[in-house]
Structure formats: C-alpha cells, structure tokens
Amino acid sequence: MAIPDPTAADVAPLSAVASRTAGQRLAPRARSFANFLVVILLTYLGLLAVTFFIGRVIPIDPVLAIVGDRAPAHVIERTRQELGLDKPLYEQFYIYLGKVLKGDFGTSVLTANPVMTDIKRAFPATLELASLGILIGAGLGVPLGVWAAVRRGKLVDQVVRVIGLVGYSVPIFWLGLMALVVLYARLGWVSGPGRIDVTYEYTITPVTGLLLLDTAMAGEWEAFRNVFSHLILPASLLGYFALAYISRMTRSFMLNELAQEYVIAARAKGLSESRIIWRHALRNAMVPLVTVIALSYAGLLEGSVLTETVFAWPGLGLYITNSLQNADMNAVLGGTIIVGSVFVGLNLLSDVLYKLLDPRTRIR
C-alpha cells in the first residue's frame, strides 16, 4: 500500500517530459500553464467521479453508520432523504460537485465534524510521520543502494539485498509490534503508541498540527522530546519499508549508469572512484530516482493503515479506511482529494527537480 508499483513509478513524469515537443517549447508559458490546469482539473474530476461511484455501489448502506442498526423505519427513511440518497446517482454527484466548488466538503457522519476540520487534524499526523519516514528511507536507502551497486556481488551487496527483501516481505504490523515489544516495552528506549503522552495533551496549542514544529515553536522542549520519542519508531518503520524499495531501485539505476561509457571515460581520465560514483554516476541515476522517492513519499502520505493501527496514530490512512467501511462518503471523497493533491503536487515537484537535475528537459 505504501510503496507504489515500480513499473508505474517512472512512467508518468517521463511521458510528461516526452510530450513537450519542440513547438511547445517555443509556445508561451501561459499556454502550457493553461494546459496544465486543464489536466489537473480533469484529474480531480475523474478522481472524484470514480471514488463517488465506487462509494455508492459498494454494498454498504451509508444510513447505517448514522442511525445504527436499531433505528425504526421512519428514522432510516428520513435520514436517507436528509443525505439526498433518494435522488439519482448523477444528481447526487452534481450536488456534491457544486458544494465542493463552493469549498464545502460536507460533514463526516462518523465524527460529526466538517470533513476539512477532520483532515486538518489527521493529515498533519500522517505528514509528520511520512516526512520523517522518507528522510530515513531516502537518507539511508540511496547510499546503501549506491554501495551495493559499487560492490556488486560482494558481501555488502548481499547484506543490502537481504535488508531489502526483509523490508519488502515482512508484514509491517508484525514488525511494528515486535519493535514495540523490544524497543518500547523491554528496553524503554522510545515512547509507546500514540502521538504524545497524556501529560502533555493539553499543554500545547496546535498551530500547524505538526507536533514537532508546534512544540519547538512554543519552546516546550520536554514535550518536543516526548513527541519525537513517540514519532521515531513508527517513522523508522515506514522509513525502513521505503528504504527497502529505494535501495533496490538505486542499485539498479546505479548499475545501469556504471556500465555507461562516460564512466569508463572518467576512469580513463584518472578521476577518483568516489568522484565518479557520487558526482557522475549518481547525478545521472538521481533523475529517475527522484520519481521513485517522490512516489514513495506520496505512498507514505496516503497514510499507512496498519502502522497507524498498531501505533494508535490518528492519521489519514485510518480516517479514510474507517470512513470507507462505514460508507461515509463525504469523508472518503475529502480524503481522496487530499491524496490526489499529494500525488499531483509531488509529481510536479519531481518535474521541477528533473529540470534542475537534467539540463535537457529545461524549457529554453
């Protein structure tokens, strides 16, 4: 769930780059921007439509979540009308779209809050976790992958492979629980499940919702420490799973680059091995790698249901899953928009990074 499919990973931005023909390069920036806007809008519309209709055809009665199993018939019927479920599907969708355009994402029936209020609370929890996770994953995964590529077939390569395979194949909830048993329950090195100790619960006012930032800005260093010690374990776990994938991809990109002629040329020129690897080969491998990392990050930002369950983390993954299981469609659609935006945003970001990394793709 968290790690995107490797084949899909490098397709999207590449095609975006390839579609930029010579003619477009000369065209005014405004036009490409307009194109871009249309594409984005269509993406959102498609995303909403698909989610909406899937949500309406799943065999779950959304009224049940609101009135429960015991409600008398007339209460059920009245609620159905209040939700507009008696109207045809296309009309329901039309009404929903109209509200979204006015910035009204509706109210979640499960939490009784406006959906955006819920998401403003759940998303930062996931953002904090995913950001630290990807820092760990990419920060360790890239060097490990490079190292494995350089020492191909040697012990290091085997060790990195095993680390990667374990990360890929062990169920995250099991690993999460084991990590908790050892590092939290036995050794007491880190704090347990949850985002913060109850003691600090009402001591900080949420500004960004990112507790590390909030506590740091308030100068509450005790609380900051506490937040960090709650965060580090689930973040490392997510980071490990990202690492497994990123290190494998880095290795394969690096092997590809190291076999290129420019590497031989560089060696013939007498450049140091480390300069060849880090400045030349990795620089080129970074181009596709940026996409891999960006999509891994996006995957983590969707929220990881299992990690969030084990660590009692009130994040986006649990929010969307719980909403879907109760057919709470306003919440599911709101969540989908956020996840969609994350993907669009990170795709854009990787496009920008592309241009920085690969001079050929810059618009002149």
* Residue 104 interacts with another protein (CB under 8 A): yes or no: no
Q: Quick one: which segment of 154-162, 196-204, 252-260, 271-279 binds another protein (CB under 8 A)?
A: 196-204
Instruction: Quote the least distance from Cβ 192 to another protein, whole Å.
Output: 5
Give the 3-state secondary structure of residue 357. helix
Among 70, 102, 269, 360, binds another protein (CB under 8 A): 70
Residue type for position 92: Q
User: Distance (Å, rounded) from C-alpha 285 to C-alpha 256?
Assistant: 8
Among 340, 309, 313, 335, smallest CA distance to 324 is for: 335
Binding mask 292-321 for another protein (x = CB under 8 A): -----------------xxxx-x---xx--
Among 61, 271, 250, 241, smallest CA distance to 166 is for: 241
Which residue, 69 or 261, is less far from another protein as judged by CB? 69
Among 184, 240, 241, 253, binds another protein (CB under 8 A): 184
Task: Quote the crossing angle between the two packed helices 115-150 and 282-301, to the nearest 10°.
Answer: 150
Q: 244 and 138 in contact (C-beta within 8 Å)?
A: no
Among 190, 282, 298, 337, binds another protein (CB under 8 A): 190
Which residues between 209 and 238 bind another protein (CB under 8 A)? 212-213, 216, 224-226, 228-229, 232
Q: Quick one: which segment of 143-151, 153-161, 272-280, 322-330 binds another protein (CB under 8 A)?
A: 322-330
Q: Quick one: which segment of 16-24, 188-196, 239-247, 261-269 binds another protein (CB under 8 A)?
A: 188-196
Q: 150 and 258 in contact (C-beta within 8 Å)?
A: yes
Among 33, 189, 262, 278, binds another protein (CB under 8 A): 189
Which tokens belong to 44? 């959102």
Q: Within 13 Å of residue 175, how many CA atoms lie on the same side as its CB?
A: 18
User: Distance (Å, rounded) from C-alpha 199 to C-alpha 191?
Assistant: 13
Among 56, 121, 161, 355, binds another protein (CB under 8 A): 121
* Residue 162 interacts with another protein (CB under 8 A): yes or no: no
Task: Write down how long the chain is.
Answer: 364
316 contacts: CB under 8 Å, gap ≥ 6: 119, 122, 123, 125, 126, 301, 302, 303, 335, 338, 339
* Residue 208 interacts with another protein (CB under 8 A): yes or no: no
* Residue 157 interacts with another protein (CB under 8 A): yes or no: no
* Residue 103 interacts with another protein (CB under 8 A): yes or no: no
Binding mask 39-68 for another protein (x = CB under 8 A): -------------------xxxx--xxxxx
Segments in 58-154 forming alpha helices (H): 62-67, 73-82, 89-101, 115-150
Place of tokens 């979204």: 100
* Residue 348 interacts with another protein (CB under 8 A): yes or no: no
Binding site for another protein (CB under 8 A): 58-61, 64-75, 78, 108-113, 118, 121, 131-132, 135, 177, 180-181, 184-185, 188-194, 197-199, 201-202, 212-213, 216, 224-226, 228-229, 232, 309-312, 314, 318-319, 322, 324-327, 349
